Chain A
């Protein structure tokens, strides 16, 4: 990652660049500035994943007049596009440089598109189309599926890890922290905690899978959000994270494709 990123920093096109730095053999996200160019290492594929879009968003909010660069994977590119569409960041103030994921990372993540459209490093591995767990769940009877979900929601310790790591959870005030709608001091939290989060993920979730990775209770959140994504595609004909189109819940009005059978 040293040539292209170095050029961007040297020419002053970006004030800082979010890339990765190896510390004790592990890749960590790091904000490189012009004075640290010599610390940039040549790019090589690695498996560590971080909510780098979220780090960028936090930094960009503090410095609204500066342009930042970011090294993105496929999911992170989709996340940034959603952040642009939800008017949280100015697309002109972000320079994306893309890296492909490795074949086995794509398999582990069950990722449909493990590479960004803007691909600068690595070669694109094949995407994984199957949604194993969603299909398994849909095969269950309704009552059984509800018990399955409740048995998982039960383990929630309300750590907000899923929300905090989510690259598209950009709100500064979270409804899940409002004691009127999500009472505090109650464990496990109400079922609505997860389902409302799922509703908020409609037209936002980019299927990066970080929520499920960080969940200390191992709640299969990704199956829920994968379903959310396919519902958004079916009901509103919108592909979350796509370059074009508008996320159905970002605007009022009939410009959106309304569900069939208008009442």
Chain B
């Protein structure tokens, strides 16, 4: 059954760059795997760790966060916070025993439709090779056995 595994990837795309980049990939008829579910956010800096960890908990196999390049942020410095936060959350996930490679940050501008398609292709392939994500939810059953 291993080859029937289709990864579920949640993508948080910033409204000003990456979402437009995805749009460009679309109108340019670029092919990329249909495994991503896109959520448009106003700035990649608004993506809270709540959203990232909740996604993993609800069974996302990978989470992609994409925003404007450093210096191009519509809100001037929002993506600096993204970079700090994602780097931190990756390390925290590692300490919690969760593979941080399932969380990916990429800067994709509105002109980079090709980069968007490539990023999705590469990330989907990576998640596919990693297999389904482990359950990341505390359940009462485990408490009894521990």
A residues whose Cβ falls under 8 Å from a Cβ of B: 137-138, 140, 142-156, 175, 181-182, 187-192, 195-196, 198-199, 202, 224, 227-228, 231-232, 235-236, 248-249, 252-254, 256, 258-259, 262-263
Q: Would you list 23 pairs from A and B whose C-beta atoms are within 8 A, ordered by A residue? A: A142-B97, A146-B97, A146-B134, A146-B136, A149-B97, A151-B143, A154-B139, A155-B143, A156-B138, A188-B138, A190-B54, A192-B53, A195-B53, A199-B92, A228-B92, A231-B91, A231-B92, A232-B88, A249-B81, A249-B85, A253-B77, A254-B77, A263-B106
Which one, A137, A252, A262, contacts B81 given CB within 8 A? A252
Nearest B residue to A202, CB-CB: B88
Which residues in B have their C-beta under 8 angstroms from that of A192?
Answer: 49-50, 53-54, 57
Given A142-B94, A188-B143, A253-B77, 5 more pairs with CB closer than 8 A: A143-B134, A150-B136, A151-B142, A154-B138, A227-B95
- Asked if B140 and A188 make an inter-chain contact with CB atoms under 8 angstroms apart, the answer reads yes
Complex: A142 Cα to B118 Cα, angstroms: 29
Least CB distance from A8 to B in Å reads 40
Complex: A175 Cα to B146 Cα, angstroms: 29
Chain B binding site: helix, strand, loop or mixed by DSSP? helix
Complex: A140 Cα to B88 Cα, angstroms: 20
Most chain A beta carbons < 10 A, residue from B99, B140, B143: B143
Least CB distance from A131 to B in Å reads 12
Residues of B in contact (CB 8 Å), total 42
Question: Which residues from 35 to 55 on chain B have a C-beta closer than 8 Å to any C-beta of chain A?
Answer: 45, 48-51, 53-54
- Asked if A150 and B92 make an inter-chain contact with CB atoms under 8 angstroms apart, the answer reads no
Least CB distance from B58 to A in Å reads 9
- Asked if A146 and B88 make an inter-chain contact with CB atoms under 8 angstroms apart, the answer reads no
Complex: A93 Cα to B126 Cα, angstroms: 54
- Asked if A235 and B88 make an inter-chain contact with CB atoms under 8 angstroms apart, the answer reads yes
Chain A binding site: helix, strand, loop or mixed by DSSP? helix
Complex: A153 Cα to B134 Cα, angstroms: 16
Which one, A144, A150, A263, contacts B138 given CB within 8 A? A150
Given contacts A182-B50, A252-B81, contact A154 B87 (CB under 8 A): no
Which one, B54, B87, B91, B137, contacts A181 given CB within 8 A? B54
Least CB distance from B118 to A in Å reads 14
Which residues in B have their C-beta under 8 angstroms from that of A236?
Answer: 84
B residues whose Cβ falls under 8 Å from a Cβ of A: 45, 48-51, 53-54, 57, 70, 76-78, 80-81, 83-85, 87-89, 91-99, 105-107, 134, 136-140, 142-143, 145-146
Which residues in B have their C-beta under 8 angstroms from that of A199?
Answer: 49, 85, 88-89, 92
Least CB distance from A256 to B in Å reads 7
- Asked if A142 and B142 make an inter-chain contact with CB atoms under 8 angstroms apart, the answer reads no
Nearest B residue to A199, CB-CB: B49
Which residues in B have their C-beta under 8 angstroms from that of A147?
Answer: 97, 142
Which residues in A have their C-beta under 8 angstroms from that of B98?
Answer: 142, 146
Which residues in B have their C-beta under 8 angstroms from that of A249?
Answer: 81, 84-85
Given contacts A190-B137, A190-B138, A192-B53, contact A146 B96 (CB under 8 A): yes
Which residues in B have their C-beta under 8 angstroms from that of A231?
Answer: 88, 91-92, 95
- Asked if B48 and A175 make an inter-chain contact with CB atoms under 8 angstroms apart, the answer reads yes
- Asked if A196 and B95 make an inter-chain contact with CB atoms under 8 angstroms apart, the answer reads no
- Asked if B146 and A151 make an inter-chain contact with CB atoms under 8 angstroms apart, the answer reads yes
Complex: A192 Cα to B93 Cα, angstroms: 11
- Asked if B91 and A235 make an inter-chain contact with CB atoms under 8 angstroms apart, the answer reads yes
- Report the 5 A-B pairs with minimum CB-CB distance, sorted nearest first: A146-B97, A145-B97, A151-B146, A154-B143, A192-B53
